[in-house]
Amino acid sequence: MRRFGELEQQIMDTAWAADRPLTVRQMLQCVDRDPPPAYTTVMTVMDNLHRKGFLVRCRQGRAWSYRPAESRADHDARLMAEVLGSSADPAATLLRFVGRMSPEELNRLRALMPEPPGGGR
């Protein structure tokens, strides 16, 4: 499982937060780095993310506009499934993951789980 690079992560975070597809120029205005990256750098990274299947693009006049191929929640869930799928012992990995959760996170997880038949958990 490969993680995003720093600029890739910033671009994906911005794309997930946007309420519409963004052009390279619009994305460049949102990227907060010092010094700011070159237009061509952002364009290349966005094109790479498109080729890897993380961004979808469509024509907007003479430019491309990009939007995420999946929601952040879907992306994160897929990554978690990949980790469990790559584990030699998925049950042990899942137990260790749950063991690292805060009490608040555990309460949220319990609230999301359906009631078992018979009414007891």
The pTM of the full predicted model, rounded to 2 decimals, is 0.82
pLDDT in tens, 12-56: 999 999 999 999 999 999 998 889 999 999 999 999 999 999 999
pLDDT in tens, 83-104: 999 999 999 999 999 999 999 9
Starting at the edge strand that comes first in sequence, how are the strands of the sheet with 55-60 ordered? 22-23, 63-68, 55-60
